[in-house]
Structure 1
Amino acid sequence: MAMEPCSIFEDVAGRLEAQGSTEANRKTHPGYWIKDLKSLLCTANVEDITFGTGHQIYTRKILPAIEAAETEVVLVTCFLARSVTLDDLGDSLRKLSVKAQRNGKLIKVRICFSSSSIWQKLLQTSSLAGQIWPEAKWGLPRKDELQGLDMEVKSIFQLPFSVMHPKFAVVDRQRILLPSCNVSWEDWFEGCVDLNGAVVDQFVRFWQSFWAGEEDRQVKITNSTPFSNQQTSAIVREAYAVFLPSPHHRFSLPWVSSEQPPATPLNIYLLTVFTRAERGIYMQTPNLTSTVVLSAILQALERGVDVTILTSRRLMRLEQIVTAGTTTERSVRSLIKRYQALKQHQTSPRDLEAGFVPSHAGRLIVRYHKMRDAIDQLEVEPAQSHLKLTIVDGKVAIFGSGNMDRASWHTSQELGLALTSESLVKQVWQSLSIAMEGRSVTEYDSDKD
């Protein structure tokens, strides 16, 4: 079967084990998975899927989880900016500190980020060892306010544009929260997956291999009480999962370098499922400028696969131009023109006269995010869509930090998680459809040409 998980992984592993891919990946960091690709396989219990603004996701999901921690919190984000979300994170850390002191023990907290301001990126070390900061430097509570916590704040960034883009939280090494949002002021449409089970070890290993200091790499934290979420029943248990790291690479100008992206697990997995798709691809991404992705979409359409894309207008346009030499809007217009040319070729009168049986291109729908017309005065309305989610054939869902832009595919460190479960995808689609109702406008629908 096209979306059979073991078969997909065999294809992915075969491409990663190819000589060129292996040699290139040996130079990347982290690269612990290179010697044992099967170590990326695991299972996951999915407790919940949440959609909303970044602030809503933090206040409803991530911060309550942090406040409930007993031994350790690891919070990894790309952008750590002064904002209401950062203020609320500080309040949660104060509460956690008070609880720890009341119980007579220290709780370990590690906050990892890549970007906070242009000055931080210009002035900090480019070493992958990173830089340790005082807690209050970037708007977190002072050390004397967090005496119940063993606290460390660390940043890693490499000039000019190599950000570490993953976002996740690990609580007591038993629970994972995988959001698309940063700790920032950005009121955008986001998502968050609440996970536990064997998948937790994957995130811990990734953090230890890249972010953790020597002491944290050695420490193993055990908790005799297994994780349980009494408030909700799991969407799915023991879902087949593939952990998909994508190490950062040095920036290269789009017009003077190869358009072939680095052969990382995330990149190769996405290209593999695009190639294997038989019925439909749904892609929600903040930006769409990767020529490799655009070509893969067109090839899928040519095979008769339906493709729906939901993206944003005018989001981080300067970044798009610098890193990709184009914008999402230009890329979308180009895709539509290429698709229309494909359809015209497939129905060419010359081919019909020659007796060729015409193939039928899949349906292409492109939508842009828009704010709802009727805005609830009690809720902040997302101005853009920042969700990163790909669904293939109603069976595979890929969550994580990676966009479908050139920066994510060629330069920045990314992290994805592929989950194979029809029941999970059905639940995700139902929740997403409700959350996105009234929040998109159709730019193009091939059925209405």
Structure 2
Amino acid sequence: MNKYNTSPEQLTVARQLLRWTLLVLPVALAAGSLVALFLWLLEWATQFRWAHSWLLYGLPFAGIGIYWLYRLAGRNAEKGNNLIMEEIHQPGGGVPARMAPLVLLTTIITHLFGGSAGREGTAVQIGGSIAGWIARKLGLTPKDTRILLMTGIAAGFGAVFGTPVTGAVFALEVLAIGVMRYDALVPCLIAAVLADWVCSAWGITHTHYSIHYTGKAVMEYWPFVHLDLWLLVKVILGGVAFGLSSFLFSTLMHRIKHHANAYIKIPWLVPFAGGLLIIGLTFVAGTTDYLGLGVHSASPDGISIVAAFDAGHAINPWSWLWKLVFTAITLGMGFKGGEVTPLFFIGATLGHTLAVLLGAPVDLFAGLGFVAVFAGATNTPIACTLMGIELFGADHTLYLAVACFTAYYFSGHTGIYGAQRLGVPKYTRPE
């Protein structure tokens, strides 16, 4: 055979890439545009709530409104990310198109009135519902529908955080603990990159985080070791703490949801009670910094994700726990939004606290916590390591990987997604 001839296998691959590019294009265009709209509305809602602090007192009634919106129009759409994952695992009733406008509207309502929630869940549901609608219109096979739904996850995630490589890998890794299938790898990457471009084309910018720590130690007696071994030990200890906080968050959120639905017999009273609890906790905490996203604070001296990277900023050592409780109540009792940005807050503030206790670089540990708590709660250590590289640069890749992988193991087999399957256990018990 002539070595310059293109084999039939490569021709098949080329045709498949072209086909999936054409299939993914409308998913990426729609998801990127809707995520841009969502982020713009979210910023507006946050600024408006900061200017009108009395809106917090409407949170219980907003919760009732969200309940009735899903009761009247949502049906199975209320299952959110878990519905998309279930459809990928085992095709059934499909992902309804109404999921996108419902979750967008109800997430904005949650943030407008002060609920502690994120944005990843909303973006993923937007991407998944668009992909499901397109799959139905085109009459795709169950196998192709599964892949297109995964591209919807990648598109939504990549666009909302500006991390397309992470979005692609997250869509593959989040479905099952310990297992990744590569049949959707390239379509997911195409979707995430295009959706991120579309979102940026609408003028949306993402928060910039920086790790300025540049210390590199070459051991005097071990010249082949090109890092600070003592700092690495601290990173491992931090990873354990990040994993345990992931476990605490996932467990608390699921238990709050279970007990609230078990003991409050009138369903619409669940979010109403959740809103009252958030109001009460705000007074106990003495600050509104644990409401909303938490990326920035209404006050220059407030506690936020950005502030956690500043060694000179005073951070309450229990800020991570406050945010954890606020978010577990908000999402566990029926409000809408994602878990990931609050997990960033929990991780960054816990990292700040640990850095002070351990005598470690604050910005480095804030960045490690930022991605590692997320890794533990979603069981996606590879995606989160890549997120750290996309957000902070590649200088600290080893520390990022160690923190994420350690958190992944110490979070156990819990997670924020109930539909996530167990592919390979994290450990085996001795026989």
Q: Tell whether the structures are fold-level matches, with TM greater than 0.5.
A: no
Q: What TM-score do the two structures reach when normalised by structure 2?
A: 0.29
Which has the larger helix fraction? Answer: 2
